Amino acid sequence: MKRKTEDCSFRTSIGGQALIEGILMRGPKKQAVVCRTRDGLVEKTEELKLVRDKYPILGLPFIRGVVTLFDSLFKGMAALTYSASLVPPEEQSEPDKLDQWIEAHFEGEKAQKTIIGTAVALGVALSLFLFIFLPAFLVGLIPALKENFLARNLSEGALRIVILLVYMRLICEMNDVKRLFAYHGAEHKTIFCYEHGKPLTVENVRPESRFHPRCGTSFLLVVIVVSILVNSVVRLSNSFARMGCHLLLLPVVVGVSYEINRWCGRHDNALSAALSAPGKWLQRMTTNEPDDGMIECAIRAMELVIPEEKGSDAW
């Protein structure tokens, strides 16, 4: 019965991201950031400039996944930085030494872009370490798995899933993250309400599901599962050689995972439900029930990016 409440005749390409006391929504033509401050809602809207519009080849299947990932990382980090700047000064933490060094050597917008680029680079490096290098190294320490490539690949994949779940569970205990995940829930609920064709009101949004099949959290889990399949072609016993091959195959993994996530978001059948189920389960950790103020943020962000031409944002 629950699945019927999530079925919809229209699936939008509009997606979002939770911010610090706010929401980012991205439509086909523009994106909007709406944050709640002491003085009320603060809005920021900008036209989207997508690299695939300039280079159409980057919008082809299996290529667009990698391009979309990095584009989302940079734009998402920029929005997160902006939302952090709206926090009252007395509640803001001191910039770390790296940020202080960048601000001392660069000025204005260049410093901001450098900080964002550095944050993205460090985030990618940490992800590569946790989900590629560390599993390959630890599993490589087990003599019985040295030459059993099937068991080794499955063990590395299982370890990646464990690392992801442990990481998610640990950050879920942080109060700031709990609020961030509640805004994440508000984003999903608002998108579902819009897809169901209901007026965007707090009363209509509140009962919607907070588990959405096109969520980035689901994408992470799909990446790990797809990596198990793609990396099965690597038949090397040396751990460092395996790390290198896994790194080279990462664009293939991301490209395939994006297409799977995209397909699941566009279809409603037994296969799409089965493929989406693990990601929705993981969203039980990465989304919380929002309060009315959070829903209001998400609604306003959605209203700012809905295109004038009805249906032009179809998925």
Distance CA 22, CA 41 (A): 9
* pLDDT per position as a tens digit, 95-154: 677 777 777 777 777 877 787 788 888 888 999 999 999 999 999 999 989 889 999 999
Q: What is the pLDDT of residue 89?
A: 74
Tell me: the pLDDT tens digits for 67-103? 988 888 888 888 988 998 898 876 666 667 777 777 7
pLDDT at residue number 2: 41
Q: Using CA atoms, how far apart are residues 111 and 109, in angstroms rounded to an integer?
A: 5
Residue 92's pLDDT is: 66
Name residue, tokens 């990481």. Answer: 167
7: three-class secondary structure by DSSP: coil
Neighbour count for residue 159 (Cβ, 10 Å): 18
Question: At 22, is the secondary structure helix, strand, or coil?
Answer: strand
3-class DSSP assignment, residue 233: helix
* pLDDT for the residue 54: 81
Cα(193)–Cα(188) distance, integer angstroms: 9
Low-confidence ranges of the chain (pLDDT < 50): 1-5
Distance, CA of 315 to CA of 263 (rounded, Å): 10
pLDDT of residue 292: 96
Neighbours of 306 (CB within 10 A): 19
pLDDT at position 6: 54
pLDDT of residue 74: 87
Q: Looking at the chain, how many residues does it have?
A: 315
Whether the Cβ atoms of residue 85 and residue 36 lie closer than 8 Å to each other: no
